[in-house]
């Protein structure tokens, strides 16, 4: 067997970091060589995430203590907060220019520096890398990802909205002005930081919308939807917090263009994903559930007709920590390092 | 103090029946004189719902064993399945024509017998009563309810959609074709019947839509929306099942008519509900949560602007078992029996 | 109607504070005149707990800004962290010696200053008040509570353990060495402070014990069990965190003394609580559920025989925020202010 | 690569059946050749469990339609209800005597036919097979399992109790009379049958004990504990239902024999499981959580001292559907078919 590639994970004490570890432990071609976590430096991964008791993993170290040159990493996953991320990756690539990077933050997702500045409130600190970065929605940018040094892993909400909508926009099959995305997410999307709003007692036994009318994920949708449609598209998007740990459901309302019926939209999606291993389009009229993709890199999409003629309702589900974050990141890694795309990503869902 | 009114509850072994008992136990002007539950006849209410241990309640009896004439009930709540309900109430009112009835099923909500036949698959069996019945959305039909003998209590989903939308439709402030209602409900809305789909293991840790494109609640919305708008309205409506026991959130997307801004919609709703004790319109931009009305007859409505000009997002929350069912039923009873409307309905929400 | 008593709540932004507000809003004899919350001073209660939108409540103020003399409060509920509590109450009673105080912290529960110092790691700062304080387990100390100026409200776990065990210990019916209390609590017992361990994602879909072998609640149990038994008793007690917001279940294993059978233990408890309004002993062999007392001041106790002769299993359930905290505090207030003991505490449980 | 072994799963529409499919899909040495499910015969597995969309699986067939001779199965997992199981396996082995069987029901766990008749209320219908069956707790009976034709897979509760207690009993380190097992289980242990008691609304937001004092799992514990101790042992055991889908926590109270301290118990367990791949003994004093073994075949055991001298508290966690059922069944299969014991069972836990 070929030698294993050396992988680093920056921000290993968060949920996407832990999920990367979970997936990579079952990956036959890589070894985890570096785990950083500033506040928990010096501890073992098993202390921070006891599900890893018994696994052979390096201890957590502080980011500042890493010597990128000596580390000799083939690829680094960066699961750090946005803002600081761009500085970290800039330094990393300056020191170790041949290391590949998959960034799970939002820092390199927007191509337009002005859009970045508008949504994040400050100028980008690594504009050249921003230009270099490839947007890592594999099903769309597979070819570019293969040759990329820096991949910007898409967001969880936006993956759930893009996979069903991009083929429809490209085919000019729907009215771009009609798009309403009502998205529902599990709480792990909010990360492991201690916040009152994410306490069990605040989240259990209830539901609510947040970021109504203005949410940073919109920037990513605008960019990719506009590219697909060939003209500016600004969808309506409302995220909700659901009392569950994992999963995103995007319920999407669209109006088909004249001459197109909901069945046509279904046919377009079926064709688009016929050969994709991680996207299943359900039979026309069937409705997916988040629990049936839990723990996996799978996406399930359902299309149904509304009773209003020409309006369709498209439901898309994924696991926000897997296809919405760490699984998609591994999928990107597989392409970047020349592995089969699904390596380490074939688990069946945990249900119930 | 005046003598207490004698109340019967048909279908007391279901969740709406139990919720009626909970509310009426705290009501100073009534006594529960009859509880029916066919499959659990002969048992005490405390055996079927142990939260009532210690309460002074009649034992459960079979519906067929009730002599309506002798029962001498002032008012009956009917919490039976649709279909059989119409026959039960027909017999009841034939035998005891002065008894008032609040029906929690869908049997008397539709005025149009053809619409009933379309949605329920059979001709109505009590057409005259159907004509007599008053639709019990108190905030809209208060006056009619006061004089009614038979009130059709609105559905839970439809209450959550009507309260925010009716004033906007009446004011001609929104485009009726634009309405998208993305509704999320707790599991108690499905009742206490043993079904695989409602097992804990099937519902927990996940979310999904159901009845996509075609759901019986639409009939009620069509009727009331069209009446408010003065022309036919057929909204898009998608229900979802959320892993929580109680609560409904309706996230509603509307386009304001030319010349109207989201703030105007907010102002219309604020004005419409200024004097209503059970409907709170939050400050512009604020977003309600189902958990903050849990166990109460309260409704909270929030209005926010979408970034697409003229589009607004309206969120409405209520407790499906209270304002969505038994609380609204008690509110109707209060009017029908001449009590102050809020009697027995002033509890603060249970949160967390 | 008599004039309403003026009530203050210190620490109103926590869950027990909010629960006090919920209960007092339905209490006919009191008005809430003061709400303090240091970090949230200046905000309205409805901003901090939106379930109170529409309620007539004073804004939150900082503790240091209160002039106890001018405040003219009849009774203060103190829902502050232990440690600081003793200083606050000392100052309050020095300035306003005729104000009554119900303290929900652990600061005044232990009579023995050495025990306090052992379990809390520092000398008590208000030793005289410690001597004055009455332990507010109403079913045991009703008479003393009536005349008390300062009542130490019992803990939630300890109430669930004491109510079933004290009558058995007093009757010398069980072997005090045999007591094993396996207790399970909802997450609201941990309060509203933002801690990683209490995030939804850390608590949902799992269970674990904590404080195994050493938990501060033991001190309170030792004191009261020893008093009841007439000799030192040190029970085994293990708390667990359950993925629910409210409720405590104590599953208690005891060995009956020679000549006593589990049925005898049941009979002792039945007799002990026959006239108590808030404690229900279920029929022999029946098992209580926390959900059936949710939101209420009720306690349900079940007794069953183990197959090992002489060993009994006693289950006790209560709502940790009501009988385990704020409801019991109101029960104490009712006695201290001369109201009927159950005033404002008669709600039926919210289930489902 | 060697040819794949042909596997059948009887009862594939239940949760343990689905869990077997999940695990075997990731197993490199077997193929699923037969799936039976009487009520759902004729449907695809993906219709019954949509998490398997895209997997290559045989359709569900009725048990009566299987010709065991022609089926040519190497091994059959039997995930049917107890009682009927014994007849099915009797017929199967009569027709295809060289097929191996792992039975997940309770039918072949008890060696003593009288004990079986006492706990199950009828004489065993396959007494000879009962004698032949090997009890499949691998860590104890590994050698016998390797040569077995029929393995009785242990129960979920009993596995969680046996793994920590058997080494202590064998070492004569604890007083067998002192054992109290307070066990907490997720709802999937109750299966997928539609029962009111397992509805989301009945199980969420609450906890309760059941089967208090008398539960069939006791028979299995008596048998194995007595064998380990060399004399009759009848532990106290109380199961509880926790609002989570997966996981069992057994909190176990034991008294060490004179001369033994809790640390000694920890040392015994550490030594017993040092070389076991699926059992981790945590550092002394650490406490395991069910969520950290979710979806895996792992067991975590913690030992802590009670403050009462000589009493220890042992916590054991596992996933009831994996090590408590289907994972352990695959572990047995691996031994029976000559594979490495951990084949297909190496996934890391899904947390959060």
Q: Search chain D and give the residue with CA nearest A350.
A: D295
The whole-angstrom distance between D70's CA and the closest CA on chain C is: 43
Mean pLDDT value of segment C234-258: 98
Instruction: Name chain D contacts of A326, Cβ cutoff 8 Å.
Output: none
Chain D residues touching residue C309 (CB < 8 angstroms): none
- The whole-angstrom distance between D1's CA and the closest CA on chain B is 38
Residues of A in contact with C187 (CB under 8 A): 199-201, 204
Count CA within 13 A, CB hemisphere, residue C252. Answer: 34
Q: How many angstroms away from the CA of C247 is the closest CA of chain D? A: 7
Q: What percent of chain B has pLDDT over 90?
A: 98
Mean of per-residue pLDDT scores for chain D: 97
Interface of C with A (CB under 8 A): 15, 187-188, 192-196, 198-205, 243-245
Interface size B-D, in CB pairs within 8 Å, comes to: 62
pTM of the predicted model as reported, rounded to 2 decimal places: 0.98
Judge whether B282 and C53 are in contact, CB under 8 Å. yes
Rounded average pLDDT over D195-219 = 95
**A313, B212: Cβ pair inside 8 Å?**
yes
Residue of B nearest to A247 (CA): B206
Q: Which residue is closest to C199 within chain D, CA to CA?
A: D352
* CB pair distance less than 8 Å for C194 and A199: yes
Q: Which of A80, A83, A82, A56 is nearest to A66 (CA)?
A: A80
Mutate to test the interface with A, among B164, B175, B180, B296 (most CBs of A within 10 A): B180
> Percent of chain A having pLDDT more than 90?
98
- The pLDDT tens digits for D266-312 are 999 999 999 999 999 999 999 999 999 999 999 999 999 999 999 99
Which residue is associated with the tokens 């890199």? A297
| Interchain CB distance below 8 Å, B213 and A304 | yes
Q: Which of A180, A244, A247 sits opposite B180 (nearest CB)?
A: A180
Question: Whose CA is closest to D318, among D183, D135, D151, D216?
Answer: D183
- Tally of helices (H runs) and strands (E runs) in chain B: 12, 14
Q: Would the CB atoms of D51 and A288 count as touching at under 8 Å?
A: no
User: Strands D5-10 and C311-318, how do they pair?
Assistant: unpaired
C-beta separation of C112 from C89 below 8 A: no
- Collect all residues of chain A within an 8 Å Cβ-Cβ radius of residue B204: 244, 352
Q: What is the nearest CA distance from C215 to chain B, expressed in angstroms? A: 25
Residues of chain A found within 8 Å of residue B212, distances taken between Cβ atoms: 285, 287, 302, 304, 313, 315
Q: Closest chain D residue to A301 measured between Cα atoms?
A: D53
Per-residue confidence (pLDDT) for residue C1, from 0 to 100: 56
User: How far is it, in rounded angstroms, from Cα C198 to Cα C191?
Assistant: 9
> Which residue pairs from B44-48 have beta carbons closer than 8 angstroms and sit at least 24 positions apart in sequence?
B45/B12, B45/B21, B48/B12, B48/B13
Confidence of residue C213 (pLDDT cuts 50, 70, 90): confident
pLDDT digits (tens, 9 = 90+) for C104-120: 999 999 999 999 999 99
Helices (H) and strands (E) in chain D, counts: 12, 14
Q: For chain D, percent helix, then strand, then coil, each to nearest 5?
A: 40, 20, 40
Active site residues of C: 156
Partners of residue C26 in chain B, C-beta under 8 Å: 346-348
Q: Which of B177, B204, B307 sits opposite A213 (nearest CB)?
A: B307
Is B51 in contact with C205 (Cβ distance < 8 A)?
no
Q: Which residues in chain A are contacts of C15 at CB distance < 8 A?
A: 201
- Name the minimum distance, in Å, from the CA of A45 to any CA of chain C: 16
Distance CA B208, CA B196 (A): 15
Query: In chain A, what residues touch D270 (CB-CB under 8 Å)?
Result: none
Taking contacts as CB-CB distances below 8 angstroms, the residues of chain C near D305 are 213
Count of C-beta atoms within a 10 Å radius of residue D226: 15
Chain B residue numbers with beta carbons less than 8 Å from the beta carbon of D188 are 201
Nearest CA-CA distance, residue C296 and chain B, Å? 10
pLDDT of residue D1 exceeding 60, the answer is no
Which residues of B carry out catalysis? 156
pLDDT at B188: 98
CB contact under 8 A, A352 and B204: yes
Q: Which residue of B has its CA nearest to D200?
A: B200
Put simply, the answer to whether B205 touches A315 (Cβ < 8 Å) is no
Q: Count A/C contacts: CB-CB distance under 8 Å.
A: 63
DSSP state of A123: -
When pLDDT is cut at 50, 70 and 90, the band that residue A1 belongs to is: low
Whether C187 and A196 lie within 8 Å, measured CB to CB: no
Interface test with B, best of D204, D210, D321, D325 (most B CBs within 10 A): D204
Contacts of C95 (CB under 8 A, 6+ apart): C67, C68, C69
pLDDT tens-digit map of C121-171: 999 999 999 999 999 999 999 999 999 999 999 999 999 999 999 999 999
Summarised one tens digit per residue, pLDDT across range B224-266 is 999 999 999 999 999 999 999 999 999 999 999 999 999 999 9
* Residues 6 or more apart whose Cβ sits within 8 Å of residue C79: C9, C10, C11, C12, C14, C16, C17, C20, C104, C105, C326
Is B305 in Cβ contact with A207 (below 8 Å)?
Answer: no
Nearest residue of chain A to residue C193 (CA atoms): A196
| Helix or strand run (H / E) with residue B182 | strand B180-185
Choose among C187, C192, C204: nearest Cβ to A196. C192
Residue A300 is inside which H or E element, if any? strand A299-305
Average pLDDT over residues C266-276: 98
The conformation of residue A49, written as its DSSP 8-state character, comes to -
- Out of D78, D156, D315, D316, the active site residue is D156
% of chain C beyond a pLDDT of 90: 98
- Tell me how crowded residue D6 is: count the other CB atoms within 10 A of its CB: 17
Find, in chain C, the residue whose alpha carbon is nearest to that of B347: C26
> Hey, are the CB atoms on C201 and A194 less than 8 Å from each other?
no
Q: Which of D126, D157, D158, D124 is nearest to D140 (CA)?
A: D158
Q: Please report which helix (H) or strand (E) contains residue B270, including its range.
A: helix B262-273
pLDDT band for A282, please (50, 70, 90 cuts). very high
CA–CA dist B331, B344 (Å, integer) = 9
Q: Which chain B residue has the Cα nearest residue D198?
A: B199
Using a CB-CB cut-off of 8 Å, the residues of chain C touching A193 are 196
Cβ <8 Å between B194 and D192: no
Partner chains of D (3+ C-beta pairs under 8 Å):
A, B, C
Cα–Cα distance for residue pair A265/A268, rounded to 1 Å: 5
| Mean pLDDT over the full length of chain B | 97
Partner-chain contact C213 D251, CB within 8 Å: no
Task: Let me know: does B239 contact B211? Beta carbons within 8 Å.
Answer: yes
Contact D342, D275 (CB under 8 A): no
Express each pLDDT in D82-97 by its tens digit.
999 999 999 999 999 9
Per the CB < 8 Å rule, is C22 touching B348?
yes
Closest CA to D99 of D7, D217, D230, D184: D7
Asked if the bond preceding B352 is cis, omega within 30° of 0, the reply is yes
Residue A214 reports pLDDT greater than 90: no
Reported as a pLDDT band with limits 50, 70 and 90, residue D59 is very high
Write out chain B's pLDDT in tens, 352 residues: 579 999 999 999 999 999 999 999 999 999 999 999 999 999 999 999 999 999 999 999 999 999 999 999 999 999 999 999 999 999 999 999 999 999 999 999 999 999 999 999 999 999 999 999 999 999 999 999 999 999 999 999 999 999 999 999 999 999 999 999 999 999 999 999 999 999 999 999 999 999 998 888 899 999 999 999 999 999 999 999 999 999 999 999 999 999 999 999 999 999 999 999 999 999 999 999 999 999 999 999 999 999 999 999 999 999 999 999 999 999 999 999 999 999 999 999 999 9
Which ranges constitute the DSSP H helices of chain C?
A: 15-25, 45-48, 68-71, 84-95, 113-120, 127-132, 138-146, 156-170, 200-203, 217-229, 262-273, 327-336
Alpha-carbon distance D328 to nearest alpha carbon in chain B (angstroms): 21
């Amino acid at each position: 067997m070929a030698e294993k590639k050396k992988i680093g994970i920056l921000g290993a004490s968060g949920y996407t970091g832990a999920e990367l570890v979970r997936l990579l432990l079952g990956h036959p071609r890589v070894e985890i060589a570096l785990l950083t976590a500033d506040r928990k430096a010096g501890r073992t991964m098993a202390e921070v995430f006891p599900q890893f008791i018994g696994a052979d993993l390096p201890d957590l170290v502080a980011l500042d203590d890493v010597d990128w040159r000596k580390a000799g990493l083939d690829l680094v996953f960066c699961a750090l907060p946005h803002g600081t991320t761009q500085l970290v990756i800039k330094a990393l690539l300056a020191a170790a220019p041949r290391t590949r990077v998959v960034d799970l933050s939002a820092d390199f997702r927007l191509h337009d520096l002005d859009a970045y500045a508008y949504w994040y409130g400050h100028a980008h600190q690594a504009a050249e890398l921003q230009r270099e970065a490839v947007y890592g929605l594999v099903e769309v940018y597979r070819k570019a990802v293969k040759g990329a040094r820096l991949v910007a892993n898409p967001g969880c909400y936006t993956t759930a909205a893009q996979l069903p909508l991009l083929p429809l926009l490209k085919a000019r099959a729907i009215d771009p002005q009609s798009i309403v995305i009502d998205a529902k997410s599990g709480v792990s999307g909010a990360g492991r930081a201690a916040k009152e709003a994410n306490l069990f007692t605040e989240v259990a036994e209830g539901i609510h919308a947040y970021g109504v009318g203005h949410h940073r994920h919109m920037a990513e949708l605008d960019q990719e939807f506009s590219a697909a449609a060939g003209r500016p598209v600004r969808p309506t998007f409302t995220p909700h917090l659901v009392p569950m740990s994992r999963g995103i459901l995007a319920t999407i309302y669209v109006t088909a263009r004249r001459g197109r019926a909901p069945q046509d939209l279904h046919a377009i999606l079926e064709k688009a994903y016929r050969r994709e291993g991680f996207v299943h389009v359900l039979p026309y009229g069937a409705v997916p559930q988040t629990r049936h993709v839990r723990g996996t890199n799978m996406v399930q999409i359902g299309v149904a007709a509304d009773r209003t003629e020409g309006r369709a309702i498209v439901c898309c589900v994924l696991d926000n920590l897997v296809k919405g974050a760490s699984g998609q990141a591994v999928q990107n890694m597989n392409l970047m390092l020349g592995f089969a795309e699904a390596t380490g990503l074939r688990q069946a869902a945990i249900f119930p």
